[in-house]
Amino acid sequence: MQSFSASAINRRSLLRSTAAATAASAFFSFSSKSARATAALPMPIDTSVLTKFIDPLPIPAVVRPNSKTPTTITMTQFQTRLHSGLPLTTVWGYNGSYPGVTIEAQSGVAARVRFTSALPTKHLLPIDPTLDGAYNYMLNTPNPDVRTITHLHGGHTRQEHDGFPEHWYVPGSSRDHIYDNNQPASTLWYHDHAMGSTRLNVYAGLAGFYLLRDKTETALNLPRGTFEVPLAIQDRCFNADGSLFYPTSREYFDGYTGPSSTDPVTPTDVPPVWNPEFFGNAMVVNGKVWPYLNVFKSQYRFRLLNGCCARTLVLTLSNGGTFHQIGSDSGFLPTVVKSTQLLLAAGERADVIIDFSTLPVGTKVQLLNLGPDAPFGGMADMVSADPATTGQVMEFRVMWDPAAKTVKNKTSPPVPATTGSTGSPVAKLKLPAVPKLPASTVTRKVSLNEIGSTSSPAFNGPVMGMLGTMQFDQAMQYGRNDKYRCCSHPHAATGTS
């Protein structure tokens, strides 16, 4: 049931920090058909049986907070249909939306948001009781299963409003955040960030867009309203009853069956439930599995987010079409970058214009993923995602030509009302120069490390991700002799803690 990958091994070999690095590392991908066939563990459904592009793309509602009184955004558990061929799925979301409502804010104007948890006290997904955050060593008691705290990813946020992983709270309570928005227009996103359950909370649905706008953006006359669409791409797995599938034991990852203790007071160094990486076998965009979007014969602006746990996306268009990339994680690029492939690691965003104006009405263009169903190890030796499942993302259908005289009442579906504008042609777009940064004053070396197990000589699988090398000394803080656990929090991928 193990699924090996040269790229995974290369990456791990680079990152491994223990001296006894001998055993090959593995990862488990639910996209692998051979894994499904041989595993004795309960497995997710084979998503290749789901018909693609039969559900329209949802577009989350927009919330515009102000600087005076907090706008409340409530976390709840609810049921939604993620695909016409699936039973209802229980998910979590912000304001009843999966993914969450889109927050829009203006650069230079603070936004006050009150995140309230109305979630149940039982988690949808399997908690690992030995991870940092799951247990209170001062009070000698497990922490509540459902703990949330929201972080604005990419925001310049004061520390007290940043949503530190340890600043979690429980259902029935809330926390106010002030986002100063003292940065240029950019595509940000917010997501849950609770220590020890970030991966579960985000997988359950606690993630949404935060679009920051400014005058520079307005002056560019970009596609907007109907012609500006956020696309949150996430990989998921399902059980036959429609519920979200997520690994319940370490065994899914690399076949490791122990020893691993579930007692947080006497843990082994291999967490019993946590999987270092997860690759789902269905692509979900804005909360629909393989959706479609009807578009006008015109250009569109798409805000792309890779909201997957561990998956790196390499996006392409089935017609060989061009992505005109105008922005990245922190705002506009200095020039429009034209490419036919778009690389997006977990958590990253791309602001792109796709021009459908030269395509005949009736054209269907699929957004495809060439990235691997495995840790990304570079383009050179990449084995692309399963073309029957995770190699496809969604479909654009060119439906309406607003210039055609016959358009009125003769198209099916009928031409919808539109808002906004298609903007200036991308070929004429001149992006603003990026302000020069002052000379650097401090150089810091930061390493991202994957720690191998030391529990048995035969096993050296990854047990922890660390940003830097400083171990959190719980023995000192809690009077507990535990050399393994640390509080380092590799943030970039939401799947790590």
Chain residues in the site for Cu ion (CB under 5 A): 153
- Amino acid symbol at 128: D
Give the alpha-carbon dihedral of 369, 374, 378, 382, to 10 degrees. -70
In the beta sheet, which residues pair with residue 129?
A: none
**Which residue's entry shows tokens 């050296």?**
460
Q: Which residue, 15 or 305, is less far from Cu ion as judged by CB?
A: 305
Q: How many angstroms separate the Cα of 372 from the Cα of each of 41, 203, 210, 226? A: 23, 20, 28, 32
The separation between the first and the last C-alpha atoms of the chain, rounded to the nearest angstrom, is 24
Q: Which amino acid is at 173?
A: S
Decide if 50 contacts 288 (C-beta within 8 A): no
CB of 347 to Cu ion, least distance (A): 5
CB of 131 to Cu ion, least distance (A): 18
Question: Closest separation between CB of residue 363 and Cu ion, Å?
Answer: 36
Answer whether 467's CB lies under 8 Å from 490's CB: yes
| Distance in Å, CB of 52 to Cu ion, minimum | 29
8 A C-beta contact, residue 355 and residue 426: yes
Query: Tokens 């495809």 label which residue?
Result: 368
Nearer to Cu ion by Cβ, of 348 and 355: the residue is 348
Q: Give per-residue burial for 468-484: e unless 16+ CB within 10 Å, then b.
A: eeeeeebeeeeeeebeb
Position of minimal CB gap to Cu ion: 153
Q: Which is nearer to Cu ion, 281 or 306 (CB)?
A: 306
Which string of DSSP letters, residue by residue, matches 1-54? --B--HHHHHHHHHHB-SS---SPP-B-BTT-HHHHHH--S-----GGGSPSS-
Smaller CB separation from Cu ion, 167 or 297: 167
For Cu ion, give the closer residue by CB, 153 or 489. 153
How far apart, in whole angstroms, are the C-alpha atoms of residue 462 and residue 359?
Answer: 48
Tokens of 238: 């399902």
Nearer to Cu ion by Cβ, of 153 and 236: the residue is: 153
Q: Under a CB-based contact definition with an 8 Å cutoff, are residues 266 and 110 in contact?
A: no
Closest distance of CB 414 from Cu ion, Å = 40
Write down the least CB distance from residue 148 to Cu ion, Å: 14
CB of 416 to Cu ion, least distance (A): 34
CB of 492 to Cu ion, least distance (A): 7
Q: What's the CA angle centered on 405, arms 400 and 409, to 5 degrees?
A: 60
Q: How far is the CB of 331 from Cu ion (least distance, A)?
A: 17
Distances (CA, A) of 496 to 155, 218, 235, 337, 378: 20, 37, 15, 31, 20
363, two tokens: 């054209």
CB of 189 to Cu ion, least distance (A): 7
Pick between residue 153 and residue 288 the one whose CB is nearest to Cu ion: 153
CA angle 381, 318, 424 (to 5 degrees): 115
Element (H, E) at 448: strand 448-452
Q: Which of 392, 497 has the CB closer to Cu ion?
A: 497
CB nearer to Cu ion: give 474 or 494. Answer: 494
Q: Which is nearer to Cu ion, 153 or 324 (CB)?
A: 153
